[in-house]
Amino acid sequence: MAETLKGLNSLLVHEGEAPDPVTGSVTPPIYQTSTFAFPTNESMADFMNEQKAGYIYTRLGNPNFTVAEAKIARLEGAENALMVSSGMAAVATALMASCGSGDHLIAHADIYGGTFGLLHDLLPRFGVETSFMDLRDPAALGAALRPETKVVYLETPSNPTLRLADIAAIAEIAHSRGVQVIVDNTFATPVNQQPLALGADAVIHSGTKYLNGHSDVIAGAIAGTAEFILACSDVARKLGGTLNAFDAWLLGRGLKTLGLRVGKQNENGQAVAEYLATHAAVREVLYPGLPSHPQHLLAKRQMKGYGGVLSVRLQGGQEAIDRFLDRVQLFARAVSLGSVESLITQPVAAVHRFVPPEFQAMGGITTDLVRIAVGIEDADDLIRDLEQALA
Ligand SMILES: Cc1ncc(COP(=O)(O)O)c(C=O)c1O
């Protein structure tokens, strides 16, 4: 739809959908089907020969995927997008479309624990090696690139220490050596940051988080050039990790309020970060929206908002952390982030538990770190809850 639509919230509501031409249903029907019938054998042949658009089998595509893909592609400023069954499927699919045996990757040291496991434990079994490095200093990248390096992979802000990488500077160095840059834009969302406009080649998302936003779907997305998305579709179809119609429909519905939700989460993140920065029990607050963040200037340049995730280093050891986490009432003690409700977790106890200590150290993931993902509740209530829990 609608090249005329320019505003983010208009795009989120209208892109990729219109009232159903058969019934007038204002919301897209859920195409809960595994297979699609063709009116004639010839029309099936035309579809197979790519002379006719359509659907044949949900592992290969479904109208509910198309709605979400159209919105995500437009939001990220990409030629095309692909929905897959999880954020991990998105990372794996994008990397398998880019690399093969003998290739080398460079990854930001501070990344989601599951992604670390994929790069560190699984991909080497298929001949793909990863060097982990601190990409906060883009100048260090040049020396680390090898002739066989195919991808620089980064999260910015990173999970869980909210470190940033300068996407434009990294893309310039990588491109000068023919290397592709893939950015996990889960934390920022396209509302706050558009990596493709900064020079990245492709973006991946855990759609489980902000894109869906309601803690009821596991999904992933990849956005990039039409050529790259075609290569990713080929991998995804062969791996079989495609999404299902109902989850794609829920995600399409969740996307309609992404701008409103992220706007509120930016406000809540900033308010909670500023409050915690003044609290005696808190040693350090990691949030790109605070002037004390070492890369605050980069955040201002590269991001339109600073998001709903912050991490804090607490005083008082494990006992103090247990007490704090056990006392919060509004925040659910749960992994994940980006949803309407606020969540809290100690990374070393859960998501980053299996990241080896030397890589935890490189990523700044210490035992005193607590990650807070604010929802869309009222900031005053969140602060009151944190205050009583820290008292
Ligand atoms: C930044 C980031 N990327 C990717 C993933 C993986 O996403 P999923 O759990 O949807 O597979 C996560 C999950 O927490 C994440 O935080």
Confidence of residue 120 (pLDDT cuts 50, 70, 90): very high
At 14-38, the pLDDT tens digits run: 999 999 999 999 999 999 999 999 9
* Alpha carbon nearest to ligand 1 atom 8, residue: 87
Q: Is the pLDDT of residue 317 over 80?
A: yes
Domains and CATH numbers, the chain: 8-255 (3.40.640.10), 263-390 (3.90.1150.10)
What integer pLDDT is reported at residue 5 of this predicted model? 65
Pocket test for ligand 1, best of 110, 112, 311, 339 (most atoms within 8 A of CB): 112
Q: Is the pLDDT of residue 360 over 90?
A: no
**34-38 long-range contacts, CB within 8 A, separation 24+:** 34/58
Calpha distance 196→224 (Å, rounded): 8
Confidence of residue 349 (pLDDT cuts 50, 70, 90): confident
Query: What is the whole-number distance in angstroms between the Cα of residue 214 and the centre of ligand 1?
Result: 15
Mean pLDDT over residues 117-137, rounded? 96
| Mean pLDDT of all residues belonging to the chain | 95
Three-state secondary-structure class, residue 310: strand
* Alpha carbon nearest to ligand 1 atom 6, residue: 87
Query: What is the whole-number distance in angstroms between the Cα of residue 44 and the centre of ligand 1?
Result: 37
Place of tokens 């893309």: 171
Pocket test for ligand 1, best of 206, 215, 335 (most atoms within 8 A of CB): 206
Which residues partner with 181 through β-bridges?
Answer: 152
Calpha distance 100→280 (Å, rounded): 50
At 165-217, the pLDDT tens digits run: 999 999 999 999 999 999 999 999 999 999 999 999 999 999 999 999 999 99
Which residues partner with 153 through β-bridges?
Answer: 107, 182
Three-state secondary-structure class, residue 135: coil
